[in-house]
Chains A and B, each alone.
Chain A
Amino acid sequence: MTDSFEPTIIGFTCNWCSYRAADLAGTARIKYPPNVRLIRLMCSGRIDPTFVFKALANGADGVMITGCHPGECHYIEQNYKALRRFQLMRRTLQGFGVEPGRIRLVWASAAEGARFASEVTAFVEEVRALGPLHWGKNGTVPAIAAPATIQKEEVPA
């Protein structure tokens, strides 16, 4: 079923490096799949796990967080905070049964339009391979499904 499946991906970019990388990808007309929709933050340090969970819960199949390369953060060291949160977020999501591959952290400098594009392409393909994320699509409260009755014979003795 993943052949026809087009993943929806929310991307968070920092205003100084990765967003400009996206701009550069544009100016250089480097093509990448349209599945990613970007949100601009001032810094990857602004990334709040709430955003990621919100996106996943409301129908995104993957989330991409991008920032300046370590040591080159325009706010000196805030991208390290993004890195730390990312790693803890990924661990927590594993507890929810979410594949780690569904969230990705990418460093891209303002000069790395091509890198940005290739990272997006790669990520979209990865998420496509993982298939849709079965969450309450469109944020609707899930309807109650069939009774969870287990008939005797269904159970291995």
Chain B
Amino acid sequence: MTENMIENTSSNDDQEKIGVYVCHCGTNIAGVVDVVQVAEWAAKYLKHRGVVIAREYKFMCSSLGQELIEKDIKELGLNRVIVAACSPHMHEKTFRTACANAGLNPFMCEMVSIREQVSWVHTDKVAATAKAKAMISGGVERVRHNVPLEPIVVPINPATLIVGGGIAGIQSALEIADAGFHVYLVEREPSIGGHMAQFDKTFPTLDCSACILTPKMFSAGSHPNITLLTYSEVEKVDGYVGNFTVTVRKKARKLDEEVCTGCGICQEKCPRKVIDDVFEAGLGYRKAIYTPFPQAVPNRPVLDVANCTYYEKGTCKACEIFCAPKAIRFDQQDEILTLQVGNIVLATGYQLFDARRITNYGYGRLTNVFTSLEIERLTNAAGPTNGNVVLRDGKTAPKTVGIIHCVGSRDKNFNNYCSAICCMQSLKFAHLIHERTGATIYNFYIDIRAASKDYDEFYQRVLEEGTLFVRGKVAEITDVPRMESEKGKLIIQVEDTLVGKQRRIPVDMVVLSAGLEARSDSKEVAKTFGISCSFNGWFIEKHPKLDPIATMTEGIFIAGCAQGPKDIPASVAQGAAAAARVLGRIEQKQMALEPVRASVIEEKCSGCRICNGLCPFNAITFHEDRMVTEINPALCQGCGTCVAACPAGAITGTGFSNEQIMAQIDGLLMLNVEPEPVTA
């Protein structure tokens, strides 16, 4: 019914003054596209479309090229600019700034990519030139419908939320707090410290994990600018960059943290022994009321209701009876806190690959098969065996130990990726176990990846210690002997690919260097915070190389293993980097958001609610009272999905409006060309 003839689409033709600038980019473009002809053509055949000037120049992006544009804007009164050059991802900013300098709204400038999309990918000069023309004509039609846009400015709340109290989170928190801004550090477990607190030594320097972590934990715990929320989880995130409102559930510890002195008598007296499958990796016991480990921060126990005799039988209360300051509160309930923060750092870490999934390695079935975390605890002086490496019987020291690399990693049945830390970790185990037991150590590896400072040196050292390396993926670990020598042992069946032979190697203990996996709930977490997750659960960074800290959602940053497997130095670095980014934001006090946004024309909106469920950033809200939908510009990320979905055409999108795109289609199809169409 509405015929979209170009003549009547554009608003007041006479006023459009468009300048077209064709770049040679040296010979990059000019070598294939006849830029001179293109410019002349534009001037002639697009005159009636408002093109008042068309120039070609060696390097438009050079200061001289930019001045050319600025000059024309001032002298010819251009109100729209087309730069036919490289990809907008390359120089859009450059030319928009140039326009702004000349007093033209930067969003009145559009780029046409005739390098990446024409000269670099086509060889036929005639066809390439024709395509360049078509693309410029498309750009011209589009820019006719551009409107001046002003960036949306939002204030930045100086407080920051950091989720995850592992080393990455702690580092981030300290950096920001030291800079004098407030930080809320939320940790799911009763204490901060994360996986690093479970380790004994750290590769390659073998310095004691606790010794370097504890001070950081302590300062995080005691820092005036850090509010520690342990044993707590984020339930809801509303708002947008600079103005997030976060709902946190502080799980009931069943004791008054203020009153409690952390003396530990309650743990001593608690009669209930529970397997600790978090901190002790299932290898040790804790009480029903416990702090996960002595150096825990905060040094306040939690009462594990699920395993407490009192909550089962209604009697006991040993902890309460013996607690001198009377801190136990059996009736304590979960607390819901609402925090106002400007930025969020997600450092939720990883979880260990469940080695039981590889049945032929027998973890969970064969008593003396251990996972890496279990070994960390075994080797840890503060661990269940005080650092004695023993078999599961709790006494016997192994004489031979097989360490298997890449368990659940680099394996298309489980995870394709390399978990990055397993090689070094296995070498560390080889060293530690040999040191503690004098046992013969076998390493079964696919490749050794020791590519970081001092890593390969450590590998050399372990080699020199006489550790045996067998190159090959282990097929099976079995306790079924075939000969006397195998009786009572675990037999590792493997093809030694260097010798090209099948080998059966009997050992006393097997260590599975299990890979790193994203937290099983990472997808929900991503949804809560409105960021994206790769299919194997790692959070997706804004750019894999140039911005591995930020996410697509403004104001939300990621650090540590939550973004992908990495070792301690890398996690710390990324934690600090995230802090730096946050501090930058805080210092600006406010930030400008790209004005590419969707908005609802209320009188056209019929409240059909088609769009209501389409926004992953919760920018769309429905007003029951007025029966209309509204879009929050600060939350809107400008994807335009709702614009395209609105059945009534009641949603418009700036920067990529229907008018702009429809006009560009006509332009690309050369419907606007006069007097006679050029033959492509």
Contact = CB atoms under 8 A, between A and B. Distances in A.
B3 to A, nearest CB: 8
A46 B643 contact: yes
Contact of A37 (B3, B134, B535, B677): B134
A42 interface: yes
A112 to B, nearest CB: 13
A45 B637 contact: no
A20 interface: yes
B665 A31 contact: no
Given A31-B122, A73-B532, A51 B661 contact: yes
Nearest to A81: B641
Given A60-B669, A139-B5, 16 more contacts: A8-B669, A8-B680, A10-B669, A30-B121, A34-B127, A46-B640, A46-B644, A46-B653, A54-B665, A54-B666, A58-B665, A72-B534, A73-B532, A76-B526, A138-B669, A138-B671
Interface in A1-31: 6, 8, 10, 19-20, 22-23, 25-27, 29-31
A37 B668 contact: yes
B662 interface: yes
Contacts of B460: none
B43 interface: no
A75 to B, nearest CB: 4
B135 interface: yes
Given A37-B135, A37-B138, A23 B671 contact: no
B454 to A, nearest CB: 31
A119 to B, nearest CB: 13
B122 A34 contact: yes
Interface string B57-95: 000000000000000000000000000000111100000
A135 to B, nearest CB: 11
A50 B662 contact: yes
Contacts of B87: 19, 23, 26
Interface in A60-97: 60, 71-78, 81, 85
B618 to A, nearest CB: 11
Nearest to A24: B116
A48 interface: yes
A122 interface: no
Interface string B657-678: 0100110111011110000010
A130 interface: no
B116 A22 contact: yes
Contacts of A81: 614, 641, 644-645
Contacts of B540: 72
B116 A54 contact: no
Interface residues of B, number: 60
A50 B659 CA distance: 11
A118 B44 CA distance: 36
Contact of B121 (A32, A41, A43, A76): A32
A56 to B, nearest CB: 10
B120 interface: yes
A60 B668 CA distance: 10
A134 interface: no
- The 4 tightest CB contacts between A and B, nearest first, are A26-B116, A46-B640, A45-B641, A43-B639
A59 B671 contact: yes
B655 to A, nearest CB: 8
A143 to B, nearest CB: 15
B163 interface: no
A108 interface: no
A48 to B, nearest CB: 4
Nearest to A32: B121
A103 interface: no
Contact of B532 (A32, A55, A72): A72
A54 B131 contact: no
Residues of A in contact with B, size category: 35 or more
Contacts of B662: 50-51, 54
A37 B114 CA distance: 11
A155 B97 CA distance: 69
A61 to B, nearest CB: 11
Contacts of B531: 76
B124 interface: yes
B116 A27 contact: yes
Interface string B159-181: 00000000000000000000000
Contacts of B658: 48, 50
A58 B669 contact: yes
11 contacts: A22-B116, A27-B120, A31-B122, A34-B122, A45-B640, A48-B661, A60-B669, A71-B533, A75-B637, A76-B530, A78-B614
B144 interface: no
A26 B127 contact: no
A38 interface: yes
A139 to B, nearest CB: 5
Contact of B639 (A10, A71, A78, A141): A78
B19 interface: no
Interface in A98-149: 117, 138-139, 141
A60 B680 CA distance: 13
B117 interface: yes
A43 B656 CA distance: 10
A6 B131 CA distance: 12
A27 B89 CA distance: 12
Contact of B117 (A22, A33, A141): A22
A78 B665 CA distance: 23
A50 B124 CA distance: 32
Contact of A26 (B120, B616, B639, B653): B120
B300 to A, nearest CB: 38
B644 A45 contact: yes
Contact of B616 (A10, A29, A75, A85): A75
A20 B87 CA distance: 9
B555 to A, nearest CB: 16
B596 to A, nearest CB: 6
A117 B138 contact: no
Contacts of A46: 639-641, 643-644, 653, 656
